[in-house]
Structure 1
Amino acid sequence: MRHYLPGLLLAFSAASQAAIQTEELHYKAADGTPLLGYYAYDDAIAGKRPGIVVVHEWWGLNDYAKRRARDLAGLGYSALAIDMYGEGKNTSHPADAKAFMQAATAGADTAKARFLAGLELLKAQPQTDPAKLGAIGYCFGGKVVLDMARQSVPLAGVVSFHGNLVPQKPATPGSVKARVLVAHGDADSFTREQDIANFKREMQQAGARYQFNRYPGAKHGFTNPEADELAKQGMDIGYQKEADERSWADMQAFFKDVFK
C-alpha cells in the first residue's frame, strides 16, 4: 500500500489528470461548406499559448494530420488540424485524393476561405493567444500554408513539409509577412530543381524571410510513416525516419524563435 503526504498526493493527482485534450469541432466555410476540425491542447499548461494550424496532405483530414496536432499540443501549442475538403473527408486512394484536392482548389479563393475559417476557429479557442499564430502543412497542405503566406494571411510563421512550391498566386514585394521554413526531401521527384530555383527567386524578390532545408535521400512524404504502404499504389513516396526527426526538430527551433 502506498502512502503520500497530503501535498504530494495533491501534486500526484494533478499530474496524473493532466493530459493532451482533443476535441472534434464542427464549423463552416464562408460559402457554407460544413467542415470538421480536430483540436488539441495540453491542459497542464495554464493560460493562453501560441496557436498553430495543421493542414493535411492530399489524403484529407486523416489520423496522421490529427497526430501532428497532438504532437504540437505536447510541445505546448494550441493546435488545430483543419479540414480543406469538407465534412472531414479523407481517403487512402490516389484517385479520390486527387478529386478532393481539385474540388478544394477549383475556385481561386476556395482554399483561402477554408483556411481562414480554420484559422478563425483556432483563434476562438480559449487556450489560443490570437496574437501568436502559425501554420504547418504536409504535401498539399505545405502548398496551402505557403500560398497563405504569399497572400499576406496574418501568420507569424509557416512551415511546409514536402509541399508543392509552385504558387497559386505568386508573392509580390512585401506580401509575405510570415517567416517561412521549407522542409524538402532531396529525392522528392514531385519537385523539380527548377521549381526550387523559382521559389527561392520568388521569396527573394518578395523580400521574404525564409529558410530552405534539404534532407538527403528523402522522398516526397518523408514525414509520414504510412508513406511506404501508400507507395505500393504506384507513387514515388516514402518515409525516412532521420529526415522526419530532423525536420520536426528544425520546426521546433523555427517556432521557438518566431514566438520568442
Structure 2
Amino acid sequence: MIAKSLAYEADGLAMRGEFFAADGQAGPVPGVLVFPEAFGLGDHAISRAKRLAEMGYAALACDLHGQQRRYSDIGEVMGLLGPLLAAPERIRARASAALATLTAQDGVDGDRIAAIGFCLGGTMALELARAGSGIRAAVGFHSGLSTASPQDAINITGKVLVCIGADDPAIPAEQRAAFEDEMRQGKVDWQMHLYGDVVHSFTDPEADSRGNIEAFRYDADADARSWNAMTLLFDEAFR
C-alpha cells in the first residue's frame, strides 16, 4: 500500500493529511476524503482511510485543526467549534484545500471524488458539497446536520447520505427535520439512515472511554450497517 503524509495550507493553518492507495492499480481510481471527528485527525479516521484504500480507492485522511493537533477535552473542542460552525466558509476552505490536495495526486480520478466524515467531519463533507465542489457523494456518520447557509443546498450536485443515531442528543429530531427541508428545497438526491437505540460516535470503538455512554457510545451493528450503506452509495456515485 502507498502511504504518505501530505502538507497543505487552509484557513491560515498548516495542514498535514495522510494519503493511502493500493499499489499497482491500473488507471485513475476514485478518491475519498475522510474528515475526522471534532477531536482532530487520529487513528479512527486514518484506519478508515486505509480501509478505503484496501477497497480500491485513493483516500486522504484530512487534518482538522492544523499540524494534526488533537484535543481530548470536550469543553475545549466545543470552544473551537463555535466559530467554525458560525462561519461555514472557513469549514469549506479547509475541506476545499484537502480536495485540491487529493485530486493533485497521481492515479486519482479528479472527476470521481467523494467525501465522508465523522461528527464535525461529516459536517465538513456536507459543507464541501454545499459549496458546489462537484463531489459525487457526501456521507456523514453521526454528523451535525445544521448549517448557517441552508440555501446553498441548491449547489449540491452529488448524492448525500447521513447516518444518524436516533437517540443522539447532539442531533435531535428538530435538526433532522430541518435538514430534510433543506435537502428538499435544494432538490438533492439524499438519504437519511436512523439507527435505533444508538447515540453519538457509534463508529468509534474508543467512544465508550469518554465516560458518558448516554451521549458517546460505540455500536458495532450501526457501524457495520452505515459503512455498508456508504459502500452501496459509492457504487452508484462512481458508476
Q: Which of the residues 133, 140, 155 maps onto 1:160?
A: 140
TM-score, normalising length: structure 2: 0.94
Identity %: 33
Contact 2:91 2:127 in 1 (8 A): no
Match status 1:240 vs 2:208:
no
Offset of residue 115 of structure 1: 0.9
1:104-130 alpha-carbon deviations (Å, 9 max, x no partner): 556452211111111000001102101
1:138-176 alpha-carbon deviations (Å, 9 max, x no partner): 001111111222221220111000001111311347322
Contact 2:88 2:149 in 1 (8 A): no
Match status 1:125 vs 2:125:
no
Aligned positions, number: 239
Offset of residue 134 of structure 1: 0.7
Distance in 1 between the 2:123 and 2:153 partners?
Answer: 19
Structure 2 equivalent of residue 250 of structure 1: 229
Equivalent residues in 2 for 1:168-207 (5 A)? 168-172=148-152, 174-207=154-187
Q: Which of the residues 84, 88, 94 maps onto 1:114?
A: 94
**Cα gap change, 1:100/1:66 in structure 2, threshold over 3 Å: closer, same or farther?**
farther
**Cα gap change, 1:206/1:195 in structure 2, threshold over 3 Å: closer, same or farther?**
same
1:157-198 alpha-carbon deviations (Å, 9 max, x no partner): 110000011113113473221210011111211111111111
Structure 2 equivalent of residue 86 of structure 1: 66
RMSD: 1.7
Whose radius of gyration is greater, 1 or 2? 1
Offset of residue 258 of structure 1: 0.6
Question: Which one scores higher on RCO, CA 8 angstroms, separation ≥ 6?
Answer: 2
Structure 1 equivalent of residue 42 of structure 2: 62
Distance in 1 between the 2:163 and 2:88 partners?
Answer: 26
Q: Which runs of 5+ in 2 are unaligned?
A: none
Amino acid at match of 2:141: F
Contact 1:140 1:163 in 2 (8 A): yes
Q: Which of the residues 5, 20, 36 maps onto 1:40?
A: 20
The secondary structure found in structure 2 opposite 1:47 is: coil
Contact 1:180 1:211 in 2 (8 A): yes
The secondary structure found in structure 1 opposite 2:30 is: strand
1:58-103 alpha-carbon deviations (Å, 9 max, x no partner): 0101111111110111111100011121111112221232234345
